Amino acid sequence: MSRTDVLEKLVSLSKRRGFIFQSSEIYGGTGSVWDYGPLGVELKKNLKDRWWHAMVRSRDDVEGLDAAILMHPRTWEASGHVAGFTDPLVDCKACKGRFRADKLEDARCPRKPSRQPGQHADCELTEPRNFNLMFKTFMGPVEESAATVYLRPETAQGIFVNFLNVQQARRQKVPFGIAQIGKAFRNEITPGNFIFRTREFEQMEMQFFVDPGQPAGGRTDMEWFEYWKAARMEWHLALGLERERLHFHQHGPQELAHYARAAFDIQFDFGGTLGFQEIEGVHHRSDFDLSRHQEYSGKKLEYVDQVANRRYVPFVIETSVGADRTTLAVLANGYREEAVPGEPDGRTVLGLIPALAPVKAGIFPLTKKDGQPEMATRIAEALRPLFPVEYDDSGSIGKRYRRQDEIGTPFCVTVDGESAASDSVTVRHRDSLQQERVGVDALVGWIAARVR
């Protein structure tokens, strides 16, 4: 199967099997906003847990944070979002479509989808105007400009404004980082491609504060940049994303923000017309953000190095990855349809690594007699407090395997005719289809060793 239609297949699988639903579907849906269903929420949570573990729990130089979505409006003036977080927008007076002026070649004319907007005889495009992507709302009961607040368009600013709180409370020394996972909102003009570009999404961001002048923690600022670039690529590879579908894209002079010293995106090949797209940015942001917050708040945001008797505003190396976009990458990477001997319909498989799989094991009785359902139920109940497992006794064993393959369950445990006498079960591996016999007493350890 080509990669071209994988996104369409994933939309359908996600709805059918409870990964992702369109938001407010019964009202006709909300544009480019999605709800995670029972399996999707587990998958995304597993992904976020892995990030949190790699970036916070397993390190003593990165601290966690959960900052509020609503921030003081001056934050967004300091960050540059009020003035500059805009896309050029054009309207078509004829069809009422709205398009990004700088991405017209990627857009389709709603009345003639083989052409881009502006190429149909009746198109009437307006001049481009800047459209700010931040969602505005009001704090308190009065809807006036003095009460305007924004839904944050990135989580990073919550980290910058808490830089000294965290550093002092945790007695951290530069270099150190602050990490958080949270919702961000952007009123994208051209969202789309399922959960790739949405108006409400989750980011996992880490800002690593380094000495701007001298090596600290054994590395210069640029060496820390290289360190994080490599570490983040390794993290994506450990999710099971195929090496040839991942690469770095370096920001050229046109893309690089004026304050940035260097910036690379980690791109994943989603296939089809989407192709290679950014899933994470690794940016050297110099001292831009802290200096701006210092200027706009009037509060010093300097780090005091008591040993060297120096004070300075640190440079920041940022790693910023989308939880939803990476979830989509994991789904696209794992989706496959393949032939199975003796089964005309073949099977659909989500080849997720066991640690990400929403269900770790399907538990089946081979038949509904000889005490097999009772024994399988006992096994499922013993495993459930430790791992998400699913008991299933409906339909043929082949059908039950297929159901689990399609949601990415790595193991299926079957209680069969030998189980009662030998106190053992067969365990079938999703990818190799190999089966092995495992003692019931050893089952917890057997699964634990493979899913963590």
Binding site for ligand GAP (CB under 6 A): 154, 156, 186, 188, 197-198, 201, 203, 205, 278-281, 318, 320-322, 324-325
Closest CB to ligand GAP among residues 154, 416: 154
Taking the complex as a whole, the smallest distance from the CB of residue 118 to ligand GAP amounts, in Å, to 24
CA distances from 270 to 184, 201, 332 (A): 23, 18, 7
Minimum distance from residue 28 beta carbon to ligand GAP (Å): 21
Is 25 strand, coil or helix? helix
E strand or H helix at 235, and its extent?
A: helix 221-238
Q: Choose between 42 and 154: whose C-beta lies nearer to ligand GAP.
A: 154
User: DSSP per residue over 369-436, as a string?
Assistant: STTHHHHHHHHHHHHTTTS-EEE--SS-HHHHHHHHHHHT--EEEEE-TTHHHHTEEEEEETTT--EE
**Which residue, 199 or 400, has its beta carbon nearer to ligand GAP?**
199
With respect to ligand GAP, which residue has the nearer C-beta, 30 or 426?
30
- Alpha helices, H only, 5-130: 6-17, 38-52, 74-78, 81-84
Minimum distance of ligand GAP from residue 278's CB (angstroms): 5
List, as one string, the DSSP characters of 177-205.
EEEEEEEEE---SS-BTTTTB-SEEEEEE
Query: Using CB atoms, what's the residue nearest to ligand GAP?
Result: 322
Where does residue 442 rank: exposed (0-12), middle (13-18), buried (19+ CB within 10 A)? exposed
**Least distance in Å: CB of 452 to ligand GAP?**
26
Note the residue count of the chain: 452
CB 406 within 8 A of CB 348: yes
Instruction: Choose between 14 and 203: whose C-beta lies nearer to ligand GAP.
Output: 203
> Rounded to the nearest whole angstrom, what is the least distance from the CB of residue 129 to ligand GAP in the complex?
20
Based on CB atoms, which residue is closest to ligand GAP, 173 or 197?
A: 197
60 token code pair: 């003593």
Q: How far is the CB of 193 from ligand GAP (least distance, A)?
A: 9
Q: How far is the CB of 304 from ligand GAP (least distance, A)?
A: 26
Residue closer to ligand GAP by CB (options 188, 406) is 188
Written as six digits, the tokens of 133 are 């992507």
